[in-house]
Chains A and B, each alone.
Chain A
């Protein structure tokens, strides 16, 4: 019933790293969602999407740190479970967003056959996840009932909006931790 994600390929350490990232971002994203909702109240899709990048980060950060197939998807799904359990204001929608974003990440990383993990591959993976998450925004908010101009430009440019967050957090933060002396899972060769 559930696709085999091949959990055996991850070491115990990598599994715990995925859990930690999912849990920390679960807390951050729950709060981020409040800001997102307030931004929406203030300025619609344009304002809200300025904060959207943070939701696309955990899976890619885990992928950058672990560098194995399906890491991004699994962490993003785990993170979506965490946000639901923490009480995200978007509730059950987070599962759908997590799933679609995870698929987008994997599609982006698969372009380089999971062999390249840098700002380019992570940026492309984030860019591919943006239109997929917009699909759920389209369904959830019944956007077909609304004028095209009111949502399409903001949703269409989301792939650009999210890049500063994704690149600074998913790539920049692990690099900073590395410089601070932390050994990342991929450096251990496990």
Chain B
């Protein structure tokens, strides 16, 4: 159960999306989120998904491999959802049958919309997280959106804990190996891992919490209301242009939706 295999880690790349500010990218993601929810047909939903995929590939330089496991697993959910719901929803225009099971145009359209929506939101999240420095994101939340700096610091602390967990996971796994505990395989392994590693990780994390809190206090955490920052996060012109261009594409997607 190593987090790094799944982590949508940010990578410093020389790409357009990396160079723009986090707030513009946040607006972009929220716009996609809303647009995807407003879309009620499969074709415009597919258009939005392809747009995001192209933005991710060309503007954020994310390779097909990097979309990887997460998008792939959402794909499994989407395909199963599509098949299951196409049959459940049904409709008068039966396009084909598999055995005695009818697949209608109406059912496939609705099920396809929702299945693609899942993929759209996951892909958009992948692009956002892959192209946004978490530190800049947290600073932007504080400086631009006026979120409490304590909450922003909590986000950064969560991120700081992941590599520690990875290290502790390795230690736990080695300790279990030395004691001759066999790992189960398949789906049961995920289930057992959550229990076998989750509880030790939690108890060790909680034991360490006191030391961490001392470290925070000794650095005058929350001692002053006014804070100064080494890095000021602004909203760039490139970012605004990107949001406007994306908004235009989203409007095309929505127009397609209402024209169908």
Q: Which residues of A contact B (CB under 8 A)?
A: 1-2, 4-5, 7-8, 11-13, 15-24, 26-28, 30-32, 34-35, 37-38, 40-41, 44, 54, 74, 78, 81-82, 84-93, 139-142, 145-147, 150, 173, 177, 180, 182
Residue numbers in B under 8 Å from A141 (CB-CB): 81, 114
The one of B6, B81, B85, B205 in contact with A23, judged by C-beta atoms closer than 8 angstroms, is B205
Q: A31-B1, A182-B203 are in contact. List 10 more A-B contacts (CB 8 A).
A: A2-B147, A12-B221, A16-B210, A17-B209, A74-B154, A81-B155, A88-B70, A89-B122, A140-B37, A142-B114
- The SS class assigned to the B binding surface is helix
- The SS class assigned to the A binding surface is helix
The bracket for how many chain B residues form the interface is: 35 or more
A126 to chain B, nearest CB (A): 19
A103 CA to B222 CA, complexed, in Å? 26
Residue numbers in B under 8 Å from A173 (CB-CB): 199, 202
CB pair A37 B145 closer than 8 Å: no
The one of A34, A92, A177 in contact with B73, judged by C-beta atoms closer than 8 angstroms, is A34
A90 to chain B, nearest CB (A): 7
CB pair B147 A23 closer than 8 Å: no
CB pair B161 A78 closer than 8 Å: no
CB pair B125 A23 closer than 8 Å: no
A88 CA to B69 CA, complexed, in Å? 10
CB pair A2 B210 closer than 8 Å: no
With known contacts A13-B209, A15-B150, A16-B209, A85–B129 Cβ distance under 8 A: yes
